Amino acid sequence: MKVLVVGGGGREHAIVWKLSQSRHVDKVFCSPGNAGIAEIAECFDMGTGNYNELVDFVRYEWIDLTIVGPEAPLSKGIVDVFEKDNRRIVGPAKAAAQLESSKVFSKEFMKKYRIPTAEYKVFTSYLHAEDYVRMKGAPIVIKADGLAAGKGVIVASTVDEAIDALKRIMKDKEFGDAGNRVIVEECLQGEEASFMAFTDGTTIVPMVSSQDHKRIFDGDRGPNTGGMGAYSPAPVVTEDLEAIVMEKIMKPTVNGLRSEGIKYKGVLYAGLMLKGGKPSVLEFNCRLGDPETQPVLSRLDSDFMDISMAIADERLAEIDVTWKKDASVCVVLAAKGYPGAYEKGKVITGLDDVKDMENVAVFHAGTTFNNNGTVVTNGGRVLGVTGIGKDIKAAKERAYEAIKKIHFDGMQYRKDIADRALRKEKS
């Protein structure tokens, strides 16, 4: 069988890597891909938003299934275009993807179906939002309504920080039209976790637990990023908590959408805040997380193509999804300046040395080739170095051991990925 993966980051590299291990898959295509993906798939760049041409390519190449990695194509309706042409594709349609593409839609949906989340208020007026922030005080959370590459949420510890965030989003249009509306939300306290599940619109199968690290610096300091690392399993997500999340969050979400005539197919991701054994939804994502995908798929024992086809054909109940007992830790190597303006074109060395290491996988996120065919940096998050071991400690040691062999000018990374899990294991 032939499969197409849409996207070109670390998440998509992990998806392609897992598909390439399938007994069903003869060839993988990826658009646009990156330097790492190019080693195991045929990459091509169709351009952004040209979904009819992509359908033509799928038809011409007799591709059996398409899997969408990033949120942007989902929010723009790539699934709708494919399904109109009766092409198998994994991902939610545009109406369902509003859970991620519009935080206002998501919050109002959760309120309607009594899904636990923080109290909030929606604003289109900067002055009204500022008055509300001054009245409520800090800490407080400011969210751009639309997609902002994981950077549109600002947790403000002071009123001045919150007002500055409002100015950046609503006046300076730092995130463009995504900031036409903002949500001002209570700041929930507790511990964050990522909860991802496969669903075909009826059956919901949870994945193994994971936690990511959003802040750029050690100790969870500095601005938010798309994610600086992740690990699996997350000790904070117990079996009892998983059952609560399924009953109070995942099932009501999928069933609520279906009751409104919206079938959700693909991956449903709930970013959770956990406190006292009770989960609240911080946000929904409509696809696999990045970098959570890297450690999670590293632990998947089942054939990913089997799962994907079952989602597309609405027969997920037939699949027995199994996981390895090993733990995994992914550490992101980022470019100098990230999450702000960052440098590109820096030569990456040491990748060949890491290839020979057991229980290590390096997933390319922002890479390309220069004119000499050398792998160079091409994004803010450059690589995701993933270690696998019998437990979190062993997996973390493996990841950081591999990082010592890799170098590019300006390389930055956190040194404390998975430390919170290790502290929990000791306590």
Q: What is the pLDDT of residues 40-57, one digit of tens each?
A: 999 999 876 789 999 999
pLDDT > 90 in the chain, percent: 91
CATH hierarchy code of domain 327-426? 3.90.600.10
φ/ψ of residue 208, rounded to 5: -65, 155
Query: Directed axis angle between helix 251-259 and helix 94-101, to 10°?
Result: 130
pTM above 0.85, yes or no: yes
Q: Which fold has domain 191-318?
A: D-amino Acid Aminotransferase; Chain A, domain 1 (3.30.470)
d(CA 153, CA 339): 13
Give, as one character, the DSSP assignment of residue 323.
B
At residue 15, does pLDDT exceed 80? yes
Q: What is the pLDDT of residues 261-317, one digit of tens each?
A: 999 999 999 999 999 889 999 999 999 999 999 999 999 999 999 999 999 999 999
Q: What are the structural domain ranges in the chain? A: 2-93, 125-180, 191-318, 327-426
Number of C-beta neighbours around residue 104 at 10 A: 18
Q: What is the pLDDT of residues 177-234, one digit of tens each?
A: 989 999 999 999 999 999 999 999 999 999 999 999 999 999 999 988 889 999 999 9
Q: What is the assigned CATH class of domain 2-93?
A: alpha beta
Chosen CATH of 125-180 out of 3.30.160.250, 3.40.50.2300, 3.30.1490.20, 3.40.47.10: 3.30.1490.20
Distance, C-alpha 330 to centroid of its chain:
13
d(CA 313, CA 26): 20
d(CA 198, CA 304): 11
Same fold, 125-180 and 191-318: no
pLDDT, position 234: 94
d(CA 60, CA 41): 17
In the block, which residue shows the tokens 């604003």? 123
